Structure 1
Amino acid sequence: MTLQDAIRHDNVGELYSLIDSNEMLLDKGCTGPFPHTPLHQAAAEGKTNVAMEIAMLKPSFARKLNKRGHSPMHLALQNRHYDTARALMTLNPKLIRVRGRDGITPLHLIAGEEGNNEQESKEPLELLAEFLSACKSSIEDLTSQYQTAVHVAVNKNNLKAFEVLLGWLKRVHLTEILKWKDKCGNTVLHIAMSQGRPKIIKLLIPYINVNTKNFHDETALEIFRRNPSGDLRLAIRLYWVRYLTILFTSNLSLSQFLSMELTRHEKLVLETGLGDKSTRDMVLIVTTLIATATYQAVLSPPGGYWQDNSSNTPANSSAIADEKPHKAGEIILNGSNLHKFTGLNSSVFVLSILVICYTAAPVAPHHPGLLLNALFWCCLHCRPYNRIPEI
């Protein structure tokens, strides 16, 4: 039996028998700059067991490109041997980033893959999600045409793959990638507009400025006017988005933006050193612990709360505290001590929230929800004081 026979039958035992008789078996014919290795052959034929063994014995084979510019994982995906591609990914997630012909990575390939029916389309979608989860940075890889995996999915009109990519970008806070331009200066929105993809356009509108121009000096909205999709509601929505964008944003090129004076926000970040992630994280951890402790102090103040109702009137000023009239749920601490506690505790809590907002300034423009959350916690902190009786 030859090596080709062992691969064809996916027989690992026979593979090792052949290696035992010839230690240089796997290296034969694999010394050139673009070899078609046994791993390429096993991956192309979907022989997962043999492919895994060869990849473990010869890890370097997994990254090599053959004369056609394909790695073993590229060949597995092109022939729809998804289990083989998945197996190779488990050995080394970075194989997802191997650039082949035209700069296409396995992620680009699977983003453009669409099954012939609903059942067939599920497997490439699952593999796409697994690729993204296994190698987060793979989404940043570009083809020779400067296209991301999202560009590829839109070009192929692969709506389901696009939805997976968009959902993942939102969850990992990388929606800025949607604004990246290809070799012609087109964002994914430009491509969707030119191809008349209303479903994709609706999903992209919140993330990309419709007035962004490509290298042909065309905005996405102008392309839409030239190639209308026939969706009246979408057309109305685009026009509203256009006018709101003009009102609240300015279309600056990168060179124009860099030529401007630093904003107050940018000066704040530079002067305080909050641009450094490690410093920012340390301050946020400490202030969050302080905010948590002061909030907990409101829920469990010194002395606690009365557990019962009492209408007894003390006979003299020296009566013990539990003889004073009170209601269940009222705070036991009273008088000047109560004022000192509430004033000091509230001041520390509000100060810690302000420090959190100040420290989070570098990311606040991208995550305005941070400020809303801080305001929410300030309001929530005041709620327990509603149970404090008037003195």
Structure 2
Amino acid sequence: MGKSPAENEEEKARESRRRLAIAIERDEVNELYSLIEEDENLVDHGSEGPLPNTALHDAADKGKTKVAMEIAILKPSFARKLNRGGHSPMHLALQKKHYGTVRAPMTLDPELVRVRGRGGITPLHFVAKEKGDSAKENVELLELLAEFLWDKSSIEDLTNQCETAVHVALKSHNLEAFKVLFGWLKRVNLTEILDWKDQDGNTVLHIAVLERQPEIINLLIGHVKVNVRNFEGLTALEIFQANPSGDQDLAKKLRDPTLSKNIRLSVFLRSPLTPYERIVFEFGFRDESVRNIVLIVAALITTATYQAMLTPPGGYWQDNSPNLPANSSGIPAGKPHRAGNIILSGAYLYAFTTLNSFVFLASIGTICMMAFPLLPHASPVYLSAVSVGFAYFATLTIEFTRSDDVAGIVITACFFSLLLVSLAAKWKAWSNHNRLLCGIDATGRRVGHFPKLKHGK
């Protein structure tokens, strides 16, 4: 009795899948495309369900890099699919130590290192945890870890226990992997990740103390908050004291009295706005185009007033004259002067310099106000303001004639002191606000200080 059309079709499909399995086993790309020409839906077989084991899973599991790359090119979505075991193709390749196969799909999609598998484990978490059976294999894993970090945002990914890759490395006692992560975090200025908490509220410092890892503790001191409490209300020092190791040097570092006391995030949010926040919110320009216009106008005014100080009305004396000849009445024809002094004198001189200095100071202050939300990165702006202010007022003092020296010194001292006080007040407000932000005890789990002011956004 002959087979039905459905049975023939099923047998043909089984034969195609068998030949596909052979092509994958032999890593034969040409054979793969020959089969696809016969059945264009070949690589889709078995991929229909919610948790399929696709042809890419099979190729990655067997370390067949060439075929795996071709399938990933044809079907990019397969690289992100999880099978019934909760594994993506990259997870399978990592488990079987096919590191060449791991690297290949990353050339097509670097974000594959962020695919969460079973337990929320990403490939980055996997290599942070895994140790090689040999020195060569360990080097290979550390290189993979370093390569995975090229996707900077991958460090934000958490397991189902809210662990970062740094948590995973510490809990696995993978010291070398931790050093790679720690060095990278310092270089990209993301050491705040070290203060993120897992599901128990433990930061990496808590874990280092719990796991009795003094070398890690020494590395962390100076880069983490030592007063942070976990969800049991314990600081790293209190955990250390509960299980003393006798290392009093570590105990001293964990109780450093110079470090500010942390406050709860909810306490911070309930507190009044800091002076820094009030200045930014009330006087800052949120619209970037408006801020740019203000900066341009302020810079032009600064330039104009500085130039006016260099070329005052009437110009400068061109010669030295300590004693001018008297007129017919015996009264001196003018005041003694020296070359470079301003010819303008008396009330007109004082009015000109006072008004010009006031406008100069206002324009400098406006520029510093626009840079205020960008501290500490805007520190060069403040240094430049002090330098330009000093040059301006020093020039002003030099230009006054001897008879007007006292007035020049008074004007210079008043305005320059006002400039310094204004800049110092802004710096102090920012410093206090930053110290408060650094002391916030929160779970973290997002890159960027909370609550970071998005000025101008």
Same fold (TM over 0.5): yes
Distance 2:374 2:145 in 1: 29
Q: CA deviation at 1:187?
A: 0.9
Structure 1: gaps of 5 or more residues = 303-312, 315-332
Given the superposition, is the C-alpha separation of residues 236 and 279 from structure 1 closer, same or farther in structure 2, using an over 3 Å criterion?
A: same
- Is 1:32 matched with 2:49? yes
Give the conservation status (yes or no) of the 8 Å contact 2:284–2:369. Answer: no
Alignment-derived partner of residue 143 in structure 2? 126
Given the superposition, is the C-alpha separation of residues 47 and 238 from structure 1 closer, same or farther in structure 2, using an over 3 Å criterion?
A: same
Q: CA deviation at 1:191?
A: 0.6
Give the conservation status (yes or no) of the 8 Å contact 1:39–1:61. Answer: yes
Alignment-derived partner of residue 176 in structure 1? 192
* Aligned positions of 1:37-116 closer than 5 A: 37-116=54-133
Alignment-derived partner of residue 283 in structure 2? 272
Distance 2:62 2:294 in 1: 52
Q: CA deviation at 1:269?
A: 2.2
Q: Pick the aligned partner of 2:258 from 233, 244, 250.
A: 244
Given the superposition, is the C-alpha separation of residues 360 and 101 from structure 1 closer, same or farther in structure 2, using an over 3 Å criterion?
A: farther
Given the superposition, is the C-alpha separation of residues 122 and 216 from structure 1 closer, same or farther in structure 2, using an over 3 Å criterion?
A: same
* Counterpart residue identity of residue 258, structure 2: L
Helix, strand or coil at the partner of 1:151: helix
Q: What is the TM-score when the length of structure 2 is the normalising length?
A: 0.64
Distance 1:29 1:195 in 2: 45
Q: What is the TM-score when the length of structure 1 is the normalising length?
A: 0.74
Distance 1:282 1:169 in 2: 33
Distance 2:210 2:94 in 1: 29
Helix, strand or coil at the partner of 2:67: helix
Distance 1:33 1:237 in 2: 52
Which of 112-121 and 82-91 deviates more?
112-121
Helix, strand or coil at the partner of 2:198: coil
Cα-Cα RMSD? 3.9
* Counterpart residue identity of residue 268, structure 1: I
Q: CA deviation at 1:159?
A: 2.3
Whose relative contact order is higher, 1 or 2, with alpha carbons under 8 Å and at least 6 apart?
2
- Is 1:219 matched with 2:262? no
Deviations 1:318-361 (A, max 9, x none): xxxxxxxxxxxxxxx95549xx9xx989x96x877755653344
Which of 169-178 and 278-287 deviates more?
278-287
Given the superposition, is the C-alpha separation of residues 25 and 145 from structure 1 closer, same or farther in structure 2, using an over 3 Å criterion?
A: same
Give the conservation status (yes or no) of the 8 Å contact 1:12–1:50. Answer: yes
- Is 1:186 matched with 2:202? yes
Q: Provide the identity percentage.
A: 51
Q: Which has the larger radius of gyration?
A: 2
Alignment-derived partner of residue 196 in structure 1? 212
Give the conservation status (yes or no) of the 8 Å contact 2:280–2:373. Answer: yes
Alignment-derived partner of residue 254 in structure 1? 265
Given the superposition, is the C-alpha separation of residues 104 and 262 from structure 1 closer, same or farther in structure 2, using an over 3 Å criterion?
A: same
Given the superposition, is the C-alpha separation of residues 232 and 91 from structure 1 closer, same or farther in structure 2, using an over 3 Å criterion?
A: same
Q: CA deviation at 1:117?
A: 4.2
Q: How many residues in Structure 1 have an aligned counterpart in Structure 2?
A: 346
Give the conservation status (yes or no) of the 8 Å contact 1:198–1:229. Answer: no
Q: CA deviation at 1:36?
A: 0.8
Distance 1:370 1:160 in 2: 36
- Is 1:235 matched with 2:251? yes
Distance 1:67 1:227 in 2: 42
Give the conservation status (yes or no) of the 8 Å contact 2:236–2:254. Answer: no
Q: CA deviation at 1:205?
A: 2.0
* Counterpart residue identity of residue 69, structure 1: G
